[in-house]
Structure 1
Amino acid sequence: MMDASLYVELCQLYARYAEVTSSGRWEEWPDFFTDQCLYKVQPRENFERGFPLATMSFISKGMLHDRVYGIRETLFHDPYYQRNVTGLPLLKSVEGELFRVEANYSILRTKMSQETTVFNAGRYLDEVRMTPQGLRFSAKLCIYDSEMIPNSLIYPI
């Protein structure tokens, strides 16, 4: 069981994550994770069938920093804004200082001079750990509902 003040801290973690991924402050994104972590963006079909194939899969904070470098320095794409709308986190289980959490998300994308579209929708299946720096994700699985995503996935969701 989680006490109310810890649940508020968990909600703040998700709200800050949505703020950073919506505002393009990518240098802050890896700070939400433990050093040894898993970040995966995977279609629901693959997840439910137990297939490992994922659109993105990073296994350390260093790999997250590499992705940020790629976004800032090497990837060329049409610019767009991204808005992360995340539902309240649902605490699924507690094992000591490890919390298993699920939350729904929608990613809206706005390209210059175009209407906003739903880019990606699904659920986060997360493992959140208590660390000396506060709550951090040790695993974030972004399981998206559609079988395909339009164009390429540049920014983390």
Structure 2
Amino acid sequence: MVGTANSRATRTEGPTGVAQLREQVLHLLYRACTALDERRYRDWIELFAPDGRYVATSAENFENGWPLAVIDDNRSSMLDRAEMIEKYWTVEPARTRRMVGNVDIAVVSPERLNVRSAFVVYLTNPEGRVEIQATGSYRDELVHLDDWRFQRRTAVHDNDLLTHTVTYPL
């Protein structure tokens, strides 16, 4: 669903504009999932605005407004995390697959959107066993720069205990 607005950047006028906006947002969400699944962390970071922020928190903390998060990174700490993962982090090799759906888009202004979507992160270990690492919702604040970018991405995970390390973004 897309909220209504008159906008030159988002072009939400009429059915064609709404469809184009939805397609642009879905493209950003899918690119984010693919970059993380392919372990292209720096490409994922490029999907954020220069002053963007990534937060991963539990549903309980989010719903109660508690400022507790397992990850709370600005761009600099996202880059530090990427370097640590690429150079130093050693864990058993596993594959992840992120699925995103139930996308709801609200136009805040011509250059700003609020997007809510559901996610599932599957993990396949080296023996081929598949398990769910996390489920939850993304609460995204998007800004239009050269393209739509994450101003703030909050991953609200439903699991009280995540099955694997939270070194990696959800």
TM-score range with shorter-chain normalisation?
A: over 0.9
The one-letter amino acid of 1:153's match is: V
1:78-111, CA deviations, whole angstroms, 9 ceiling, x for partnerless residues?
A: 2211111111421134223110000000000011
Counterpart CA distance in 2 for 1:73 and 1:102 is 33
Among 131, 147, 150, the alignment partner of 2:160 is 147
Answering whether residue 91 of structure 2 is matched by residue 94 of structure 1, we say: no
- Using the size of structure 2 for normalisation, the TM-score is 0.86
Q: Which runs of no fewer than 5 residues in structure 2 stay unpaired? A: 5-11
Counterpart CA distance in 2 for 1:151 and 1:24 is 16
Answering whether residue 37 of structure 2 is matched by residue 37 of structure 1, we say: no
Structure 1 residue 148 displacement after superposition: 1.3
Counterpart CA distance in 2 for 1:130 and 1:88 is 22
Q: Which runs of no fewer than 5 residues in structure 1 stay unpaired? A: none
Q: Would you say the 8 A contact 1:35–1:62 is kept in 2?
A: no
Structure 1 residue 114 displacement after superposition: 4.0
Partner-residue secondary structure (3-state), 1:152: coil
The one-letter amino acid of 2:106's match is: K
Q: How large is the RMSD of aligned CA atoms in angstroms?
A: 1.3
Matches within 5 A, 1:51-130: 51-59=66-74, 61-130=75-144
Structure 1 residue 154 displacement after superposition: 2.7
Q: Would you say the 8 A contact 1:10–1:89 is kept in 2?
A: no
Q: Would you say the 8 A contact 2:133–2:164 is kept in 1?
A: no
Poorly superposed stretches of 4+, deviation over 3 Å: none
Counterpart CA distance in 1 for 2:51 and 2:66 is 22
How many percent of aligned residue pairs carry the same amino acid?
A: 23
The one-letter amino acid of 2:167's match is: I
- Using the size of structure 1 for normalisation, the TM-score is 0.93
